[in-house]
Amino acid sequence: MPDTTIGFIGGSVAYRLMSENKITGRRLGPRPTPYGDSQPIFHCTGPQCNYYFLSRHGERGYETTAPYVNYRANVYALRDLDVRTLIAWSGPGAINPNFQIGQFVIPDDLIDETKNRPHTFYENKGIGFVRQHPTFCPALRRTISETLGALGLQYDDDATYVCTQGPRLETRAEIRKFAQYGGDLVGMTLVPEVFLAKELEMCYAAICYVTNHAEGVGPQRDFRPGALFEGLASPEEMKRVNAAVERFPEIIARLATAIARQTTPPECACHHTMERYRQRGDIGEDWREWVAR
Ligand SMILES: [Zn+2]
């Protein structure tokens, strides 16, 4: 049997789904790591679910904004629970004008525009020159794609996600620059999560739902004080976004079941990203020793 311990990292509105008991599980609490405490972890077990879950921004509200999430503690804590398959969700804006508000996107590549975030487990340890293609686990992306398709949800599965530092939104000129880079989505959370997961030999992929069109994309929108994103998204669009978010409990339950049913190891190299160092004798079998501080 392949190693299928699964973890989910919930994005902006995960806390709401938890407070409404749409995502449930035994609360294990924050988990101590060499990088500080993780966000509280929940363990969902039952016929329809067997996975660990944490809400990236907090369990009661949007307490921790993207630049201040302790990404290393969250990824370490899940790996410490034997998670090798990690799926995150995120609500970016669309740079690509063809993307619809509320639709799903499974990104396949990424541009890192963050600044000063702790971004590696291997702080000057002589290891960690890890190849970044494929950026996201191709096997996991395929499973997500099949699952969204089976649920009849609209999605795209090739998109480049630009990760900015935040918490502020982007300027119009920045969005023009990202468009020239080939960016399709702009968000604040998949970096360094995806890179940290690779360092600990985990499969990682993301499910994005489009929350708005990025600054300067689509029709001109006036600055509206007091409105969400100061008017970048209309109330009608936010209804579509909320409808997308409401699908996550079903999506993650279906995904957990689909992954648990897989009887062969995934056709990807994610569990071997550190093989070069292992063969060279730089690191041993216990991953905790690789990252020991
Ligand atoms: Zn993989």
Q: What angle do CA 175, 181, 183 make, to 5 degrees?
A: 65
Whether residue 96 lies inside any domain: the answer is yes
| Pick from 249, 207, 198: nearest CA to 51 | 249
Indicate the SS3 state at residue 154: coil
The total domain count for the chain is 1
Cα 67 to middle of ligand 1, angstroms: 26
Query: Is residue 204 included in any domain, yes or no?
Result: yes
DSSP H or E segment with residue 287: helix 287-290
> What CATH number does the domain containing 191 carry?
3.40.50.1580
- Distance of alpha carbon 93 from alpha carbon 232, whole angstroms: 10
* Domain contains 155: yes
Structural domain including 87 reads 6-290
Q: How far is the CA of 203 from the centre of ligand 1 (A)?
A: 4
Q: Is residue 19 part of a domain?
A: yes
* Domain-located, residue 278: yes
Place of tokens 């690509």: 96
Within-domain flag for 41: yes
Ligand 1 geometric centre to CA of 138 (Å): 6
pLDDT tens for the 293 residues of the chain, in order = 456 799 999 998 888 888 888 888 999 999 999 999 999 999 998 776 789 999 999 888 788 999 999 999 999 999 999 999 999 999 999 999 999 999 999 999 999 999 999 999 999 899 999 999 999 999 999 999 999 999 999 999 999 999 999 999 999 999 999 999 999 999 999 999 999 999 999 999 999 999 999 999 988 888 989 888 888 888 899 999 999 999 999 999 999 999 988 888 778 999 999 999 999 999 999 999 999 86
In a domain? residue 105: yes
Residues counted in the chain: 293
Question: What pTM does this model have?
Answer: 0.95
| Domain presence at residue 1 | no
Please give the distance, rounded to the nearest whole angstrom, from the Cα atom of residue 65 to the centre of ligand 1: 28
